[in-house]
Structure 1
Amino acid sequence: MTADLTSLLAAWTDRLAALAPALTAAERPFRTQLTVRTADPSALGETLGVGFPAVPCTFTSGAGAEVLWLGPDEFLVVAPEGVNEEVVRGALGSSRGSVVDTSAQRTAVDLEGPHVRDVLAHGCAVDLHPAAAPAGTCVQTLLARTGVILQVRDGDRVTLLVRSSFAGYLAAWLCDAATEYL
């Protein structure tokens, strides 16, 4: 029996769409997310088709996967279909480490538009000026008292990874914070 999946922000689609053109917000639900703890991630890059970041608080992309450096030995792999916990654990080989599927823990929200950084500045202490947070930056931070992983993409594009239980609250906050730019 297959369960029908409903995205966490399905009820917010119209309200988030109303924020355009100041800000477009689109949920990308049901993405494979694997938390990897290892001191030597070099073996994993070949399996995933993307190298692991060499600099803290950055992410790399390639072959449909993204790897975010979250801590000294902690990475988040946002993987394409077909890459799962067993595949990544097998790639670790004899290296010490762990792989945990955390896909159900968070949903992804893509933000884009001329006021993305302005809106986020209302609730985030991280300096999001392009000089301080260039494309490729990722940080764990609080946004409106909600724990998020914030990925700065090229131009005025940002992805927020937010815990499932806070997704509705974050959507409501985004709608309120973007009001002055409409």
Structure 2
Amino acid sequence: MADTALTAPPRSPLSHYADRLAAATRTSQGAVRLAELPFLAQVNVRLDAKGGAADAVGLALGLQLPLEPNTAIRAGESTALWLGPDEWLVVGPPGSERDLETRIRAAVGEEPVSVTDVSAQRTTLLVSGPGARDLLAHGCALDLHPRAFGTGRCAQTTLGRTQVVLVARDEPGAGFWVLVRSSFAGYLTDWLLDAATEYV
């Protein structure tokens, strides 16, 4: 018997916040821009950074895995984030998770490696504009001054008491990615909207 059940299109954890995020951006007159970047591909990679697998993955992705702690490297539409001495998060455009995972697995061959699609685990908030650093500094213990956390930096930290991966984007004026677990995304978005009221 044929399966006739309809499959609903995926819905982002913050789809019902779209109007509020857009309104906050408008009322701050560009000082702070908030938006969700839903469904980014996110593939967690664990391997020995000193082995041949790291180079093989870099060649397969056209993107070297960063070896310096708390750095991010972008090439094309993909970004690799250093999460630990043997752990990275590869972020790509929506829908590319299967391709990223397949390319990584094919590249490493028999090398010991863990490759896990964690795309559904988190959503991404984009925080940009001239006031972005100040807004994030309200709830983050990291020193976010550009000398300490400039473009191309990333860190696992807390923001408004929520665990996040914070990324300083490497394009001029691109702001920050805040990767947050889907179950905490609403709480963190409410926190950001509240903290952004001083820019209105």
TM-score band (shorter)?
Answer: over 0.9
How large is the Cα RMSD of the aligned pairs?
1.4
**Aligned equivalent of 2:3:** none
1:83-133 CA deviation, whole Å, 9 max, x = no partner?
Answer: 242331221223221101101000111111011011111100000000110
2:62 to 49, 67, 71: 49
Picking from 16, 23, 41, the partner of 2:21 is: 16
Aligned partner of 2:90 in structure 1 is 77
Q: Quick one: which amino acid aligns to residue 4 of structure 1?
A: P
Alignment partners' CA distance in 1, 2:169 and 2:99? 23
Q: Distance in 2 between matches of 1:84 and 1:2?
A: 25
Aligned residue pair count: 182
State the SS of the aligned residue for 1:178. helix
Tell me how far apart the structure 2 counterparts of residues 94 and 48 of structure 1 sit (CA, whole Å). Answer: 18
Secondary structure of the residue that 2:83 maps to in structure 1? Answer: strand
Given that 2:67 and 2:85 are in contact with CA atoms closer than 8 Å, whether structure 1 keeps it comes out as no
Once the two structures are TM-superposed, the CA of residue 51 in structure 1 deviates from its matched residue by 1.3
Percent identity of equivalent pairs: 50
Question: Partner of 2:116 in structure 1?
Answer: 100
Q: Is the CA contact 2:80–2:90 (under 8 Å) kept in the aligned structure 1?
A: yes
Secondary structure of the residue aligned to 2:17 is helix
The alignment's TM-score, normalised by the length of structure 1, stands at 0.94
1:123 maps to what in 2?
139
1:22–1:178 Cα contact (<8 Å) kept: no
Q: Is the 1:151–1:158 Cα contact (8 Å) retained in structure 2?
A: yes
Q: Is the 8 A contact 1:48 1:63 kept in 2?
A: no
Alignment match, 1:169:
187
Normalised to the residue count of structure 2, the TM-score between the two structures is 0.86
Which is higher, the Rg of structure 1 or of structure 2? Answer: 2
Distance 1:3 1:88, change over 3 A: farther
Superposition deviation, residue 47 in structure 1:
1.0
Change (3 A) 1:92 1:3: farther
Matched, 1:28 2:37: yes
The alpha-carbon deviation at position 77 of structure 1 amounts to 0.7
Unaligned runs of 5+ in 1: none
Question: CA offset at residue 25 of structure 1?
Answer: 1.1
CA distance in 1, matches of 2:145, 2:158: 17
Distance in 2 between residues matched to 1:2 and 1:91, nearest whole Å? 34
Write the distance in 2 (CA, Å) between the matches of 1:9 and 1:119. 20
Uncovered stretches (5+) of structure 2, i.e. residues with no partner: 1-5
The one-letter code matched in structure 1 to 2:139 is: G
Q: CA deviation at 1:174?
A: 0.5
> Comparing both structures, which one devotes a greater share of its residues to helix?
2
Q: Which residue of 2 aligns with 1:145?
A: 161
| Alpha-carbon separation, structure 1, partners of 2:100 and 2:159 | 29
